Copies of this chain bind each other. A is one copy, B any other.
Amino acid sequence: MREVAVIGVGMTKFGEHWDKGYRDLVLEAGLKAIQDANLTGNEISAGYVGTMASGSLIGQEHVGSLLADQMGLTPIPITRVEGACASGGLALRQGVLAVASGVHDFVVVGGVEKMNDLSVEQVTEILGGAGDQEWELFFGATFPALYALIARRHMHEYGTTEEMLASVAVKNHAHGAKNPYAQFQNEITIETVLNSKIVASPLKVFDCSPITDGAAAVILAPLEKAKELMPRDKIVKVAASEQATDTLALHDRKIITSLNAAKVAAQRAYARAGIKPEDVDVAEVHDCFTIAEIVATEDLGFFKPGEGGRAALEGETSFGGKIVINTSGGLKACGHPVGATGIKQAVEVVWQLRGEAEKTQVENAEIGLTHNVGGSGGTAVVHIFTKV
């Protein structure tokens, strides 16, 4: 099995792209990544794309062919991968396997979603398909409701407070305010969150990630070939790529204050990379709701179970703290174009490890992690990246 590296990254601005379609977004991100890798399209031999719901959102399935076509890459194989909100992370893992296997050398992996062409109600129903359609969505349980259950239980078990939840959003907006690619580039206060409208108690509007259009892409290569082609400081090694599943429905789990799929994927990833949680310098985690980031920082071993909320409130997850989480602004402030999120996380971590993250650069970042979750935790995928 060959070692794999990221040698190029690119993304569109995340936000409401009323003037651009799905294919414009993926083309922009893909070409930026190819240019960043200093390759031509002729050198790419395969591709993967993570998209959750293009069929329901824009009536377009078969986006592998669409990408090959739009990017001028036919006849190379391009495959669409779907795992709800973890679609991007899963596509990245398939790309890593394709390179590791020796079948493909240079592989483009994209993530994209165009969500703003439908109403909020329609999008909320479509996103409900990430949960159990028959046992959750059919009975009215949308995603804010499911994560509200997780939040309530976390508050009950550990004394987590609404202020702690709010502090995650405040921190991610502070990071997003410095990220030119972010959907929301404005700072907010704890009061902004606490006084915002309730979506599903205890979650308010500012506890929730937005509906977003956007795309992101990375170029993968065999590590040894990358070293021949490029300066060392442009190459980031994929030290681990691990994925796990859990029950589709939240109510089938013994514990809901932790996502077992994320814990399993993280444990396997740490073992594969030969590192410990405390070695991670920078992490992009799946904060689809503020409670999700708190749970993530516990599942990933950055903080003990029940300590994630306090850690966020006390600034342990931002600059000057124990570990800097979501320098991009996370799903909350950078935005959450579902299929693109897992790839955007990788793009951000690569920028951090290269020292190219500008206003949100974490000093001396050497090890980065991405944590991408599908649904209420039915799928999770964890990648670990290191400098070479």
- What residues of chain A have their CB less than 8 Å away from a CB belonging to chain B? 1, 21, 52-53, 55-56, 58-66, 68-69, 73-84, 90, 93-94, 97-98, 100-103, 125-126, 128-134, 137, 242-249, 252, 260-261, 264, 374-375, 378-379, 381
Contact = CB atoms under 8 A, between A and B. Distances in A.
Contact of A59 (B66, B129, B261): B129
A299 B99 CA distance: 29
Given A64-B378, A68-B246, 20 more contacts: A1-B103, A21-B134, A55-B56, A59-B125, A60-B133, A61-B84, A64-B82, A64-B374, A69-B249, A69-B252, A73-B245, A74-B244, A75-B261, A75-B264, A76-B244, A77-B245, A77-B381, A79-B90, A80-B82, A97-B98
A248 B246 CA distance: 35
Contact of A75 (B64, B66, B100, B260): B260
Contacts of A1: 101-103
Contacts of A94: 79, 94, 97
8 contacts: A59-B137, A62-B131, A65-B246, A68-B246, A75-B245, A76-B244, A77-B244, A77-B381
A128 B59 CA distance: 8
Contact of A243 (B79, B90, B102, B126): B79
A247 B90 contact: no
Given A69-B378, A83-B80, A374-B65, A74 B129 contact: no
3 smallest CB-CB distances across A and B, nearest first, come from: A65-B378, A101-B101, A77-B243
Contacts of A90: 64, 79
B84 A81 contact: no
A74 B247 contact: yes
Given A100-B103, A379-B64, A247 B133 contact: no
B52 A61 contact: yes
A129 B64 CA distance: 12
B77 A246 contact: no
Contact of A62 (B59, B69, B129): B129
Contact of A375 (B58, B62, B74): B62
A261 B68 CA distance: 11
A91 to B, nearest CB: 9
A378 B56 CA distance: 20
Contacts of A76: 244-245
Nearest to A73: B245
A81 B53 CA distance: 12
A131 B61 CA distance: 8
Given A1-B102, A64-B83, A75 B378 contact: no
A257 B375 CA distance: 43
Contacts of A252: 69
B83 A65 contact: yes
A52 B59 CA distance: 12
Contacts of A130: 61-62
B245 A78 contact: yes
A251 to B, nearest CB: 12
A374 B62 contact: yes
Contacts of A246: 65, 68-69, 74-75
A163 to B, nearest CB: 32
A128 to B, nearest CB: 8
A159 to B, nearest CB: 29
Contacts of A102: 1, 100-101
